Amino acid sequence: MKAKASDMHSKDCVRVAVRVRPFNKRERDAGSRCIVSMVTSSVTIQDPRDSENRRSFCFDYAYWSHSGFTRDHSGLYVAEEPGGRYADQDSVFQDLGEGILENALQGYNATLLAYGQTGSGKSYSMVGYGPNKGLVPKLSDRLFRVVRENQDTRQCQVFFSMMEIYNEQVVDLLSRGSRIPGGLRVREEQQRGFYVEGLRTVPCDSASQVEQLMEQGTRTRTTTATHMNANSSRSHMVILLQLKQIFSKESITKQSNINLVDLAGSERQRSSGSEADRLKEGTAINLSLTTLGNVISALADVAVGKKVIHIPYRDSVLTKLLQSALGGNSRTVMIATLSPADICYEESLSTLRYAERAKRIQNRPVVNESPTERLVKELKAENARLLQRLNRLGQEGRRAANETKELRQLLTHNELQIRAIQTMWEQHLQEALKDWEQQYANITQERRMMQMHPYILNINEDAQLSGVIKLFIQEGEWEVGLCDSSPRCISVKGLGIQERHAVFKNEQRQDRLILGSNCTYLFIGFPSERGVDDWSRYDYDFFQSELAAAEGIHLGESSAGSSQTDPSLLAVFYDYIELMPMVAEANQMSQELNKGVEFKLEIKNLALSDPKGHDLEKETVVRVTSVGKKQVWMWSKAKFVNRKFLMEEVYQQHQAEQSGDSRAQGPCTSALPRDKDPFWDPVEPLLLGTAHLWLQSLAFRIPLEEQLEVLGSDGREEAILQAQLVPCSSTGLPLAEDDILIDPCELLGRRLDFQLILEQFCGLHWIREARNRGVQIGFRLFDCSQPLYTPAVWHNINPLLDYRVHFASLHTSRRLLDYLQSSAVVLELWGLQEGSSDLTSSLEGMRMTTEGIFIIDETGPTNAAVSLMSSHFDLFLKLRKRRAF
Ligand code: ADP
Ligand code: MG
């Protein structure tokens, strides 16, 4: 294909549209606020914690699909009032789809990218749901209409391909054969650029054929996702429409590639925390999406005149395939989708920033045209000349036999070429039609089965993949499981699915069904038993809420849905439901891979570490326990989610090894070194629980002796701790009863000395569970810059601590007094385990007298008697030894 020279230098910026969807059920239940607003094509987002903090962005289009709509009788979402601001699927298509089609018809390459966090509406915009068709089906519908209307001036050929990029592997979603291990290869040719070798391209001549192919692709996507236990939100779905137009009068062929890309959820790019985690996670989480971000940033820099040495197209599969779409020969549109809810603020802001960078990218699109038809004419003319020569040679006799042979060969070659050019399309189309008829027969058959038998319908976390697979339960008894050899078996594959997993008896019952860890199905009874056909209410959330309720985790009937439900509680509830199936999957994978670790969901109560005990926030965490040594890790939600992705990778690798795929890349899963193994972390001290020691008595200089309950984050008693607060003299002698104050204000401006004594633990649960463990207490008092830790005690359920520390305030301030009267010192119980080192007090920046008294409440200039701890460090260490500090 040659580029038309006249277009060579025209620049074309990536066009960017932003769309905001309605609240989903979760967000409505949580009483979410909408933090996105739009005026014409500008989008403003507001920080939910600081209403003054607003940011505005300007785009080519802004689509308000959040409110002002209604559902018409056919299920279509349309504006409530004619001319209302609601942007429906049609208006999005008119702006974006028509433009892309127009470009393609002119012979430009065109690309449409959907970017946004999972659940924000990428697939809704690209593919659509039910009657609310998205850009791709609408585009193909319009395309074939144009093709039909212009039949007399041009012949059009449309080829359809559909692929998925998951974890840097390209999967052909239309391939009829089994999946190629390691995925299809991406190759590069000078003329063509990067392309996927061996990708199935299906000739199409109608929109319904395209839709059917999309359905087929989605089905493949659903089954591979379940079999391999892969999460669709981490994969990119790419549809490639190749349009070839042959203008017979002008003897010109125009060709255009239309890339339609539903990108992976944007939320997973961030790492979950520590440096070690970052190293382990690397960019593996989603190399293609990370690289796409880097390419866009680099191109945006180019556009503003910055010097950019290298644009990392070659770093990932996706960016290779999109090279022409980004900074190259394509007209490109990005639709960035937003969730309107306050809890998605960070994600939405980052989507807007991303979109803003993409807006700056400049492409240089050219019309792709070539003289294919002319080639046929030229070949024909050449053949005519060859024939003439042959005739002449024939008359000249034997002498020219060799030349004759050569000419004949050339002639045949040319003829073959002509025929190939002319018949290829016809043949392809014929084959595709046969295929299509077969598929059509399958669909008709499925419809008939639906009318006769009960069936189960898959429900996926990704709504786009729900209801795609139907498994029919015919009369009698059916085995369900991996077995596909048995004649009476319904074959189901997936994590945790056994060879013979269950038996179905076709009797009259209605149920929901969960097989293994990730195979969720909705049971649809006999036709006579069916109510409304709309099963969309029973989505993935519904299943998981039901499961959570069965585990005793639920929101009261009255509170769910009412705006009075504490949003933070709801957030924890939804985190819990979201994580529950993932934890089940992680356990299953650990078991199948013999990792010897167990995962358990816990809800952590943050009030336990708040000095005033006020913080009502709760947080969902995952407790990881090694079965043998009983080592324990606590993972945050973010960390677990990222880790689970890496576990999936290991699991898929294992699956591939099992099935004898020698080409599988990556390290052998059984022998992963610990620093690469997502199931493992270095052992660290673990926060087990806290106790609050209230300080009020000190304000009156009254001594206090307490048996404190140390409570775990789930409210369970971890131990009893005997502690004392003793007001004392500057030499550490306990004060007499006469020194008790009636009015704490008397302390203001005066010196206050007191000792905190931690005597003994009773009934340490942590040690009772496994004797190879130890504990320490850590705490931070008032304005101390560092936490202090007691020495570690090991192996004993009731160990003696005998820890004593002396604090002094030289000129007691109002602030300290308020603190004493209203706060507690939070005593943290840290669990030590085999292989972890003790926690030590750093003392950096802490002030201490030569007698080892910690000075607190120092606002004024440095007192002469006090100096920075570091200069007395040696002395301190000696003191510490002597006093069993
Ligand atoms: P993504 O592909 O970004 O993960 P989806 O497109 O699957 O998200 O959308 C998630 C859910 O939100 C789906 O149930 C979908 O029907 C709904 N949704 C998304 N965008 C819209 C919209 N503009 N109008 C109505 N519903 C929407
Ligand atoms: Mg999607």
Dist CA 418 CA 423 (whole Å): 9
Check whether 325 has a pLDDT greater than 70: yes
Rounded distance from Cα 620 to ligand 1 centre (Å): 26
pTM over 0.85: no
Name the closest ligand to CA 336: 1
The closest alpha carbon to 575, from 555, 595, 596, 598, belongs to: 555
Could you tell me the distance, in angstroms and rounded to a whole number, from the CA of residue 344 to the centre of ligand 1?
15
pLDDT of residue 867: 41
pLDDT value of residue 563 = 47
Ligand 1 atom nearest to 121, measured from its CA: 6
Q: Where are the alpha helices (DSSP H) in 13-165?
A: 25-29, 89-92, 98-106, 122-126, 135-149
Q: What's the confidence (pLDDT) of residue 778?
A: 95
Ligand 2 centroid to 118 CA: how many Å?
Answer: 7
**Which is nearest to 622 in space by CA: 638, 606, 605, 608?**
638
Q: Residue 625 contacts by C-beta under 8 Å, 6 or more apart in sequence?
A: 597, 598, 600, 631, 632, 633
- Centre of ligand 1 from the C-alpha of residue 24, in Å: 8
What pLDDT is stored for residue 464 in this prediction?
A: 87
Q: How many residues does the chain have?
A: 885
Ligand nearest the Cα of residue 266 is 1
Counting atoms of ligand 1 from 1, which one is nearest the CA of 124? 6
Distance CA 572, CA 555 (A): 11
Residue 99 neighbours by CB under 8 Å, 6+ apart: 15, 331, 333
- Closest residue to atom 14 of ligand 1, CA basis: 463
Whether 695 shows a pLDDT value over 90: the answer reads yes
CA of 211 to the centre of ligand 2 (A): 17
Please state the rounded mean pLDDT for residues 724-747.
91
Residue bearing the bigger pLDDT, 878 or 508: 508
Give CA separation, 54 vs 18, 26, 32, 266, 353, in Å. Answer: 17, 25, 18, 22, 13
463 CA from centroid of ligand 2 (Å):
7
Reported as a pLDDT band with limits 50, 70 and 90, residue 513 is low
For 189-248, what is each residue's pLDDT tens digit?
877 789 999 899 898 889 999 999 999 999 999 988 877 777 788 889 999 999 988 876
Of all protein residues, the one whose alpha carbon is nearest to atom 10 of ligand 1 is 119
Ligand that lies nearest to the alpha carbon of residue 235, given by its number in the listed order? 2
Q: Residue 9: is its pLDDT beyond 70?
A: no
Can you give the pLDDT at residue 421? 65
Mutate to test the pocket of ligand 1, among 77, 124, 136, 237 (most ligand atoms within 8 A of CB): 124
pLDDT band at 276 (very low <50, low <70, confident <90, very high): low
Atom of ligand 1 nearest to the CA of 120: 3
Segment 754-775 shows an average pLDDT of 94
Task: Dump the DSSP string for 392-430.
Answer: HHHHH-GGGHHHHHHHHHHHHHHHHHHHHHHHHHHHHHH
Q: Which atom of ligand 1 is nearest to the CA of 462?
A: 7
Spatial separation of the C-alpha atoms in residues 600 and 852, rounded to whole Å: 44
Q: Taking the C-alpha atoms of 392, 396, 397 and 400 in order, what is their torsion angle to the nearest 10 degrees?
A: -80
With a cut of 70, say whether residue 396 has pLDDT above it. no
Residue 879 has pLDDT above 60, yes or no: no
Ligand 1 atom showing the smallest separation from residue 117 Cα: 3
Task: Give how far Cα 718 sits from Cα of 76, 180, 767, 802, Å.
Answer: 56, 53, 10, 19
Residue 163's beta-bridge partner residues? Answer: 172, 238
Q: Nearest Cα to 669, choosing from 640, 648, 683?
A: 648
Query: Which ligand sits closest to the CA of 132?
Result: 1
Looking at residue 26, its pLDDT comes to 81
Ligand nearest to the CA of 119: 1
- The residues lining ligand 1, judged by C-beta closer than 6 Å to any ligand atom, are 21-22, 24, 65, 77, 116, 118-124, 129, 337, 463-464
- Band (866; pLDDT cuts 50, 70, 90): very low
Which atom of ligand 1 is nearest to 233's Cα?
Answer: 4
% of residues, the chain, pLDDT over 90 = 39
- Residue 115 pLDDT: 96
pLDDT at 559 over 70: no
Q: Looking at ligand 1, which atom is closest to the CA of residue 24?
A: 12
With bands split at pLDDT 50, 70 and 90, how would you rate the model's confidence at 865? very low
State both tokens at 795: 């192996």
Ligand minimally distant from the alpha carbon of residue 118: 1
Could you tell me what percent of the chain has a pLDDT over 70?
A: 84
Give residue 124 CA to ligand 1 midpoint distance, Å: 5
Residue in 625, 723, 642, 729 with CA at minimum distance from that of residue 680? 625
CA of residue 710 to ligand 2 center, whole Å: 45
Between these two residues, 238 and 584, which has the higher pLDDT value? 238
pLDDT of residue 558: 40
User: Residue 704, Cα to own-chain centre: how many angstroms?
Assistant: 51
From atom 22 of ligand 1, which residue's Cα is the shortest distance away?
21
Task: Output the residue whose Cα is nearest ligand 1's atom 9.
Answer: 121
Q: Which ligand neighbours the alpha carbon of 23 most closely?
A: 1
Output the six-digit token pair for 91: 């208006």
**Considering only CA atoms, which residue is closest to atom 13 of ligand 1?**
463
Give 96-110 pLDDT, tens digit per residue.
999 999 999 998 999
Q: What is the pLDDT of residues 647-668, one digit of tens each?
A: 888 888 887 777 665 444 555 5
Of all protein residues, the one whose alpha carbon is nearest to atom 20 of ligand 1 is: 121
Q: What is the pLDDT of residues 441-468, one digit of tens each?
A: 888 888 888 888 888 888 888 888 888 8
Protein residue with its CA nearest to atom 17 in ligand 1: 121
Q: How many angstroms does the Cα of residue 675 sit away from the middle of ligand 2? A: 33
Q: How far apart are CA 266 and CA 292, in angstroms?
A: 11
Beta strands 477-481 and 489-491, pairing class: parallel
The per-residue pLDDT for range 604-628, each reduced to its tens digit, is 776 666 666 665 567 888 999 998 8
Give the pLDDT of residue 876.
42
* Alpha helix ranges (H) inside 367-400: 372-396
Query: Which atom of ligand 1 approaches the CA of 20 most closely?
Result: 23
Average pLDDT value for the chain: 83
Residue 745: pLDDT band (50, 70, 90) is: very high
| Displacement of CA 678 from its chain's centroid (Å) | 17
**What is the 464 CA–ligand 2 centroid distance (Å)?**
6
Query: What is the pLDDT, as a whole number, of residue 884?
Result: 36
Q: Identify which ligand lies nearest to the alpha carbon of 19.
A: 1
Contact 69, 114 (CB under 8 A): no
Report pLDDT for 133: 96
Counting ligand 1 atoms within 8 A of each CB, the residue from 20, 21, 125, 459 with the most, and so the one to mutate, is 21
Q: Which atom of ligand 1 is nearest to the CA of 262?
A: 2
Q: Once rounded to an integer, what is the mean pLDDT over residues 49-64? A: 94
- Ligand 1: residue of 115, 129, 261 to mutate (most ligand atoms within 8 A of CB) is 129
Predicted pLDDT at 293: 86
Residues 664-685: tens digit of each pLDDT = 455 555 567 777 788 888 888 9
Closest ligand 1 atom to Cα of 464: 7
> What separation in Å is there between the alpha carbon of 135 and the centre of ligand 2?
14
Whether residue 794 has pLDDT greater than 90? yes
